[in-house]
Structure 1
């Protein structure tokens, strides 16, 4: 074997992006280049190819503006902090959950506090009981209350003082976050920040590892914010907190180092990595513009897996969703990560679900060794450019919020709610047409799935009528499945459709399989019939099925001859509704004249079609 080194790059002439583009345009044969781009929410687009835009090497990790992380070695020396979030309404159960999880790998705890949607902690004794098994000297404790943030913070400080330890974590004073979630804040944002200022100053010296202020995007992410909006509104919150501290005489370096950020990570893997990287870049720019030092520009970032991407139906798929989201958070360099249990949409998570969530991160760290590389995303032309584009788009939105007078005024004026409504409307359109598919719900639903066995202790996740409303993308189709379940309880069987598959198995299988899954997304069970060769056999089989809905499915070539006569025959035999699978094209008018009620095809508003079928089948 030759020992001469092979230099592949030298064997081929260098090509430019312009040359590649000319070849692509030739292959597109007149189609626009945009057909190769993928749209992202927030007005961004993913390109089919990324090249090095800037010959200068990116800054290494640990150097401002900290795009590649705040630590020079990343998480290679110990890994990220494995954090669990808790909202258990029973304090005794919550304390036991903390003990169990900390004994089995959890390193930090994030406590969602409040009587409505969190742990009800009203006094020091209750908090002491909650934290009875938590070693405060080595376990970061993060608070996220839904009211009275200063009072809640004082409870943790009192418990730590009695234990004789300096607490670490964050006190969770996030007045704008509370205002967004609940629609109310006693005293107002300015007053809360003014009262928090002495705490920021004192804890900077006495407990430097304890962050006083919190910037949580939970309210916005849960209500359907895009990545651009989540970034911009997080920065707008941080800006208002820096201003509040400045008014109280707190130096910008001290104020910036007192802020803990908490962002959600959704289902788009690479864009979510870019989002967290962009968050560090943006915060560094904000602090620098405020006169902060490079050291103060470093962001402390907690990442949580999003609730909006999770489903009640086929919830086991949530394990995969949470794994991918946790993976993205780690690759992006989050300082701490919390993985939501797969049964979170069903109510308060149980011990088994928490164990799976905890072990997801343990596997990512200890078996997949994701902590062995500092900033694995660094240097990727795709991710570097996407990070920059997200940051620029978020900065533009931040400027818009500033022009309104800041985030508090934007909330009060209804601007944030209006933007979220527009975002949800566009996203719901994509979900309803299955342009944005949901595995186990709108794609590959399983009508025979057994419910997850868990203790019946469901907890409401709906915000107050005044706050931003949480939403999950699966809710429209899940509402259809819920209606189907109620139909089963009342009638002993699911709403059914007779599926008339025309032609040979090879001719109809692809379309028939598709329509069976489409109907199942609405909880409608298909009584499949295969390979009809003449209309008489179809009508005979339908008459014996007991169904009132018939769906004709087969190759397009058979439709002009079969559909008109078959539709009439089916309706004569009692079919109240006849649907045709596929786009009707030029035959639409003729088919409707023959009695076809609707057409089911890819790209249509499937939710609306299924909702219409529910009404015709008597499904409430």
Structure 2
């Protein structure tokens, strides 16, 4: 065996970006380079390659623990014990929620995040109820965070009273009191006292806790109302910072300097399904908040953001809910790599109703595995140094800063909410996102991609209804297609079978398999079962097989070259044998007019509004 060292780097010098670009342009064969870019919500684009040149001109980021804290708020990251495993709870019944807290804390959770309220949350009406809720929670060593739906100051007083009754000194308390008046305004559409009055009322508490309970943060900036309503990641970040700005100003007017008020604010952001952009967004959040506090006169120590990250509710599905385990794992992974101080992983069955103990266990253990088996806590800022993530962090920060300035030009976040600007933006965002979902540019595994018609349903107790009306829930991206599957289930219950389609596959198996497989998956998205038939001797044979199948829908699928000869005659024959609807797989191109004249009802192809097409089929098949 040769003992001569192999110097690959010397023999194969790295190509320059310009050389790489020339090779790529050659392989694209006339397609624009932009075809390799991926679009993100908020007007951002991901490049196919990031190199050292992308970092030139920008100063290297400060190390972890140094302002502006892009790389994390602690010098050693989470290497000393890890991030805080802080599960969230919204079970309305106090007794059931208390039992969930007890089990989770005994089996690995380190903190609790309590969503309180009648419409959506634990129904804590008085201090005694909160004491029952926290009966098994050792307040002297367990961070407790409140997120009340309304009346946050009352909820804060309940927690402080519960600590007194348990003989726990305030100096030992850690967590947050959840005073977030703008979230109340966004969630309920009303702010009884007004933002200014609410902050004036909160100011004495902020001041007193600075000395008596330094481990408690009085104010909260939660993006839950906007994330659940469909905000993009850029809007969610910008509006969080804009809310923080409002709180700094309001508390300063009430006599609390930004140096103190900044240390009393905690942020809670939702983490969605775009893995790397979400990592970059959490890093950008710390950067922007540091800049805001610095501009307000706060010290470098006051500029550090206390950041809680929760897995997004909007990304979860009711269909094939087991995929939610993967979604929550990726979102938790992104939250940790992005440097969140505490993370909450939602149970996989959250969208179905009240999570059961098994689902809570899986959610809790997701973080424990990431920490104790994947060792994500052993590296300070694992994202640091990546040309891609460093560049993306800056781009997201700039986009969010531009939106922050726009909100400021309206008079601030409170005015943007009151004037309806936030509602307008959310409506536009939801419309754009729904279009992406309907055309499958935003695919949803198990729902709009790779649906499993024979999946065993997962049943959960429905979320309890508030005495004041139905509880508000997150706008989930999968809902539009899940409605079609619900209709198919009702059809199955009343007819004994799902709506069926006869697949008239033309040509050889090799010629039609790829397109026929794609069509079968498309039909399953709408809960329509495809029955495939491979090849026919002639039109009459195909029509006879269709009549025997008893299916009301026929889909012609095969190579485009066979369509001009087969489609007109076959469509007429199928309609003559009772087909309520005939669809053709693929774009019709120049033959559309002729095919429609022959009786073709619609065309199924990639990029079409799949929801509209499937809804049309439901109408024609009597499913809707």
**Global fold match (TM > 0.5):** yes
**Structure 1: distance between partners of 2:535 and 2:380:** 58
Alignment-derived partner of residue 251 in structure 2: 245
Any idea what the Cα deviations from partners look like across 1:188-239, whole Å, max 9, x if unmatched? 1111111111111111111111110000001111111111101100000000
**Structure 2: distance between partners of 1:487 and 1:61:** 57
Do the aligned partners of 1:246 and 1:252 also contact (CA within 8 Å) in 2? yes
Do the aligned partners of 2:64 and 2:77 also contact (CA within 8 Å) in 1? yes
SS in 1 for 2:347: coil
TM-score, normalising length: structure 1: 0.97
Alignment-derived partner of residue 389 in structure 1: 395
Any idea what the Cα deviations from partners look like across 1:381-400, whole Å, max 9, x if unmatched? 00000000000000000000
SS in 1 for 2:600: coil
Do the aligned partners of 1:503 and 1:533 also contact (CA within 8 Å) in 2? no
| Residues 375 and 580 (structure 1), Cα distance of their counterparts in 2 relative to 1, 3 Å cut | same
Query: Is 1:573 matched up with 2:573?
Result: no
Aligned 1:7-406 pairs, distance under 5 A:
8-13=8-13, 15-52=15-52, 53-55=54-56, 56-165=59-168, 166=170, 167-406=173-412
Tell me the CA shift for residue 69 of structure 1: 0.2
Tell me the CA shift for residue 15 of structure 1: 4.7
Tell me the CA shift for residue 359 of structure 1: 0.5
RMSD over aligned Cα atoms: 1.9
Which of 19-28 and 488-497 deviates more? 19-28
**Structure 2: distance between partners of 1:532 and 1:284:** 69
Q: Which of these residues, 539, 549, 557, is aligned with residue 535 of structure 1?
A: 539
| Residues 330 and 202 (structure 1), Cα distance of their counterparts in 2 relative to 1, 3 Å cut | same
| Residues 549 and 156 (structure 1), Cα distance of their counterparts in 2 relative to 1, 3 Å cut | same
Any idea what the Cα deviations from partners look like across 1:17-59, whole Å, max 9, x if unmatched? 3443344334434432211111110000001111223455321
Q: Which of these residues, 550, 556, 559, is aligned with residue 555 of structure 1?
A: 559
Q: Which of these residues, 471, 475, 486, is aligned with residue 475 of structure 2?
A: 471
Which of 282-291 and 551-560 deviates more? 551-560
**Structure 2: distance between partners of 1:78 and 1:558:** 65
Query: Is 1:458 matched up with 2:497?
Result: no
How many residues were matched structurally? 618
Which of 303-312 and 445-454 deviates more? 445-454
Which of 230-239 and 22-31 deviates more? 22-31
Do the aligned partners of 1:273 and 1:329 also contact (CA within 8 Å) in 2? yes
Tell me the CA shift for residue 547 of structure 1: 1.7
Unaligned runs of 5+ in 2: none
Tell me the CA shift for residue 14 of structure 1: 5.8
Tell me the CA shift for residue 589 of structure 1: 1.3
TM-score, normalising length: structure 2: 0.96
Any idea what the Cα deviations from partners look like across 1:476-519, whole Å, max 9, x if unmatched? 00011111111122222211111111222212111111111101
Alignment-derived partner of residue 610 in structure 2: 606
**Structure 1: distance between partners of 2:17 and 2:206:** 51
Do the aligned partners of 1:180 and 1:468 also contact (CA within 8 Å) in 2? no
SS in 2 for 1:473: coil
| Residues 296 and 8 (structure 1), Cα distance of their counterparts in 2 relative to 1, 3 Å cut | farther
Unaligned runs of 5+ in 1: none
**Structure 1: distance between partners of 2:575 and 2:391:** 58
Any idea what the Cα deviations from partners look like across 1:350-386, whole Å, max 9, x if unmatched? 1111000001001100111110111000000000000
Do the aligned partners of 2:55 and 2:391 also contact (CA within 8 Å) in 1? no
Tell me the CA shift for residue 3 of structure 1: 7.3
Query: Is 1:597 matched up with 2:597?
Result: no
